[in-house]
Structure formats: structure tokens, C-alpha cells
Amino acid sequence: MEEPLSPQKAPFVLDLEAGDHYWCACGRSGKQPFCDGSHKGTGFQPVKFQLDQPKRVALCGCKYSGHKPFCDGNHKEL
């Protein structure tokens, strides 16, 4: 399988609203860390996640987290 691009080797720390969100898994989106459809033809799919209430989150920026879409510190090993 194709490897994802790593837009940054740190998490995207964001305050998000409640609702559905789509995290970019391929690393090609111009709207990081969210999907903009740039994965088409790559074999990657965005990761949908839902928040029940507004929340500060740390979304993976390197695309190698074992707990996608959330950062687990794997960027420190790259």
C-alpha cells in the first residue's frame, strides 16, 4: 500500500465544534488536517469522527498514529 505524506511532525491542536469531522489520512489535502478530496485515486479514505460536544483535540499531523485520527506521539519516531 502507498505511504501517506506527512504534512507536519506534530499534532494539529484545534478547538472543534460538535458534529462529524473528516480527518485526512493521505496527507495530500490542502485543508489539513481535514479531507478536501485529494485522496481520490490513492487508496486512502478519510477517517470520520464525531464529537458530541465542542472539544479541544490533537489530530495527527504525521499520518502515522496508531490511534487515528488522534495524535499518539508516533511523530517523535519519524
Is the pLDDT confidence value at 1 over 70? no
Residue 78 has a pLDDT of 86
Report whether pLDDT(55) > 80.
yes
pLDDT at 70: 98
Q: What is the mean pLDDT of residues 5-14?
A: 97
Flag whether pLDDT at 59 surpasses 80. yes
Domain-wise residue ranges, the chain = 12-77
- List Cβ neighbours of 23 (8 Å cut-off, separation of 6 or more): 33, 34, 35, 46, 47, 48, 49, 59, 60, 68, 69
CB 26 within 8 A of CB 39: yes
**C-alpha grid cell, residue 12:** 494539529
Of 23, 12, 10, nearest in space to 75 by CA: 10
pLDDT, tens digit, for every residue of 16-48? 999 999 999 999 999 999 999 999 999 999 999
